[in-house]
Amino acid sequence: MGSSKNDLFTSEQNRIAELAKALGHPARIAILEYVIRKNACVCGDIVDELPLSQSTISQHLKALKMAGILQGNVEGAKICYCINPKVWTELNTLMSHFFKTYTNCC
Amino acid sequence: MGSSKNDLFTSEQNRIAELAKALGHPARIAILEYVIRKNACVCGDIVDELPLSQSTISQHLKALKMAGILQGNVEGAKICYCINPKVWTELNTLMSHFFKTYTNCC
DNA sequence: TTTTTTAATCGTAATATTGCGATTAGATAA
DNA sequence: TTATCTAATCGCAATATTACGATTAAAAAA
């Protein structure tokens, strides 16, 4: 027990949940906002921007990369993070479709 | 340690993360889809619909209620769940605004 | 009344997440 | 070469999540 039973749900349900989960921490929202605000690939100065340790931020970056939302491109010793446009579109599409399925009833 | 440091982030960052986290499990997506598909307030037959135990579903319902996404209205012995329209709009607004902040750069 | 139904909560166990310091590996600089 | 910088990973601890059976409280039915 303790782990979620992903095999019981559709792949779309699992994918929405996976992407939402990746957004489910304020530090990861802050990271994405920062990467977007810089409007370019941003290297490890995220660490200077957020009040969290380097290892913690690296973990959050990993979570965002695992979901596919962020890309990391190696640039010498530094690594350049940016939004993965395809996954961003996927996220937008899945969410807005999900939102549209509801129209007031109560 | 172990708990997230919500006080380090803006209330908007925390709220987006809180709502996203509530969507961050396939069972909760399935619950919302079911409630929406019924296009009306739905009572506890969610338990018959999903392959999870009554107590587990009750926990997921609690998570959705805590985030405000679901409302539960007492109807005799049964409880009637439906989407909270205000929070649904809030969710839609926050997410679509968040999505719009990004335009391709890389 | 007693019985049944409904949904929340309790108790427990397994697993996941969050966070940080320390270490590591690879690239760059001196 | 050695030193430094960068970012991932390791190891650990605290806490949260997920899941289920059992119990509970309240309403409805018999």
For chain B, what are the domain ranges? 10-98
Residue A95 has pLDDT above 70, yes or no: yes
Set of chain A residues whose Cβ sits within 8 Å of the Cβ of B53: none
Q: With an 8 Å Cβ cutoff, is A74 touching chain B?
A: no
Return the DSSP state at A6: G
- Distance from A24 to chain B by nearest Cα, in Å? 4
Work out if A62's Cβ lies within 7 angstroms of strand C: no
Contacts of B32 in chain A (CB under 8 A): 98
* Per-residue pLDDT at B103: 85
Q: Are the Cβ atoms of B102 and A83 closer than 8 angstroms?
A: yes
Specify the higher pLDDT residue, A99 or A3: A99
pLDDT at A58: 97
Tell me which chain A residues have a C-beta less than 8 angstroms from the C-beta of B13.
26, 29-30, 33
Asked whether the predicted pLDDT for residue A104 surpasses 80, the reply is no
Q: Closest nucleotide (CA of B56 to C1')?
A: D19
Contacts of B4 in chain A (CB under 8 A): 25-27
- Cβ contacts below 8 Å, chain A against chain B, sum to 136
- Give me the pLDDT at residue A38, please: 87
Is CATH 1.10.10.10 the classification given to domain B10-98?
yes
pLDDT reported for residue B38 = 86
The tens-digit pLDDT sequence of chain B (106 residues) is 777 777 789 999 999 999 999 999 999 999 999 999 987 667 678 999 999 999 999 999 999 999 999 998 888 888 999 999 999 999 999 999 999 999 875 5
Is residue A105 predicted with pLDDT exceeding 60?
no
> How confident is the model at residue A59, as a pLDDT?
97
Distance from CA of B105 to the nearest CA of A (A): 6
CB–CB contact B26 A33 (8 Å): no
Fold of A12-97: Arc Repressor Mutant, subunit A (1.10.10)
In the predicted structure, residue A49 carries a pLDDT above the cut 60:
yes
**Residues forming beta bridges with residue B78, ordered by sequence position:** B75
Instruction: Give the 3-state secondary structure of residue B72.
Output: strand
**For position A42, what pLDDT does the model report?**
78
How many Å does it take to go from CA B74 to C1' C1?
Answer: 26
What are A62's two structure tokens?
Answer: 């990993």
Residue A79 has what DSSP assignment?
Answer: E
Are the C-beta atoms of residues A54 and A47 closer than 8 Å to each other?
A: yes
A23-28 average pLDDT score: 98
Q: Is the dihedral of CA B15, B17, B18, B24 positive or negative?
A: positive
CB-closest option in A9, A20, A88 to B30: A9
Burial A64-80 (b: 16+ CB within 10 A, else e): beebbbbbbeeeeeebb
